[in-house]
Amino acid sequence: MLALIIAQPYPMCMSQPLIDPFARAIEYLRVSVTDRCDFRCVYCMSENMTFLPKKELLTLEELDRLCSAFIRLGVKKLRITGGEPLVRRDIMTFFRSMSRHLDSGDLSELTVTTNGSQLERFADDLFAAGVRRVNISLDTLDEKKFADVTRWGRLPQVIRGIDAAQKAGLRVKINTVALKGFNEAELFDLTAWCASRDMDLTFIEVMPMGDIGNENRIGQYWSLNDLRAQLQERYQLTDLTEKTGGPARYIRIEETGQKIGFITPLSHNFCESCNRVRVTCTGEIYTCLGQEGHSDLRGPLRGSEADIDLDNAIRAAIALKPKGHDFDYSRQRVDGQVSRHMSHTGG
């Protein structure tokens, strides 16, 4: 019996799935691999960002070990984010390494959220690594407005990236942040453009995260209740029960057959079904995007080559996952704002 105990590397409980205090199984991990980005979107960053020292970031090897620990504990869907994840040096070695979990069947999906700027270079490599879907952030089809909202971005470069992604066989979903006074007039153009290219489209309410300089969060906020009502004036909409593991609720536009998603952290709290956690590029785990509470995983990751301390730290963090976030614009101030930038936590 003693020999059996010594040979067993973990207590039996370590094989149990990750369950939070509200009986939600945690099966979805979003990992930021860098806080850096080649854009400076006005709702995400200030123009003159101070990025983290590179020594604070997890190495690619550490990211591999960390993600592998979550997969061992039951995570089935892994989304790589940033910043802009594809600007991280040698990032394709990480994607290729993660593909082993797809091959084994332990991971059901490996995806990436990107601004599209680097897809012309990496679309084929991503497909070869097992990525089958990408989310591309795109808020306008107007080249000048695109330059304004991203500050540093170029729309033709992103369109070439979308072309490359579709040519490589990647399923593309466009993520559009609904910005009052900016892209309201493009609602039907964006919808029709996505339909013409067989791309799904998800609208996102702007979230109060980080200091963005002189930009006014409340002035940017466009409720997706209002956006949906505008769509309904032109199209027949059918609510879908489909879930993809994320926070979006979906409809189908009957005239085009396309799927439209709504991510509504403000007008309709989606926390009751939250099955995901986020890990920053420095190894902090945030179990709620809209809360400041977090736990350190970099310490146990670097403190021991054995995984038991890391696994225990992950389980301890999941045990602190709150029921939901506190984002609120209803009192005409940015209640529930968190201090960190979205680029640090990951989208």
Domain-wise residue ranges, the chain: 25-174+271-345
313-336 pLDDT, tens digit per residue, is 999 999 999 876 554 444 344 444
The whole-number pLDDT of residue 202 equals 97
The whole-number pLDDT of residue 340 equals 47
Distance CA 110, CA 77 (A): 6
Whether residue 167 is predicted with pLDDT greater than 50 in this model: the reply is yes
The whole-number pLDDT of residue 232 equals 97
pTM of the model: 0.85
Whether residue 75 is predicted with pLDDT greater than 90 in this model: the reply is yes
User: Higher model confidence: residue 302 or residue 210?
Assistant: 302
Please state which architecture CATH assigns to domain 25-174+271-345: Alpha-Beta Barrel (3.20)
The whole-number pLDDT of residue 124 equals 98
The whole-number pLDDT of residue 190 equals 98
Mean pLDDT, range 223-251, rounded to an integer? 90
